[in-house]
Amino acid sequence: MNKGQLVESVAKKAGLTAKQSQLAVTAFIDTVKEALAAGDPVTLIGFGTFLVRDRAARTGRNPRTKETVQIPAVKVPAFKAGAPLKAAVNHK
């Protein structure tokens, strides 16, 4: 499912116009991005948690030249699925 299909599905299920649904989905995405950028997790009970994880610096290898390179530490967005979402995916 891509963003357009998500907008269409939300419009049908919520009884919204496509434009209203587009605004709602975009607002949700922007809000999650802003919270994660600020270092705050976003928890949706029954669905899961969007959070930021720290990835430590490490040594990697350039596959073309076989030269070792230092990969800097970064923060990465992550999602941890909640139990009801896991159960729904596994048809339980």
Delimit the domains of the chain by residue range: 1-40, 41-92
Torsion sign over Cα 46, 53, 39, 3:
negative
Average pLDDT over residues 3-18: 95
Q: Is residue 92 pLDDT above 80, yes or no? A: no
> pTM, whole model, 2 decimals?
0.82
Tens-place pLDDT, residues 20-62: 999 999 999 999 999 999 999 999 999 999 999 999 999 999 9
User: Class for domain 41-92, per CATH?
Assistant: few secondary structures
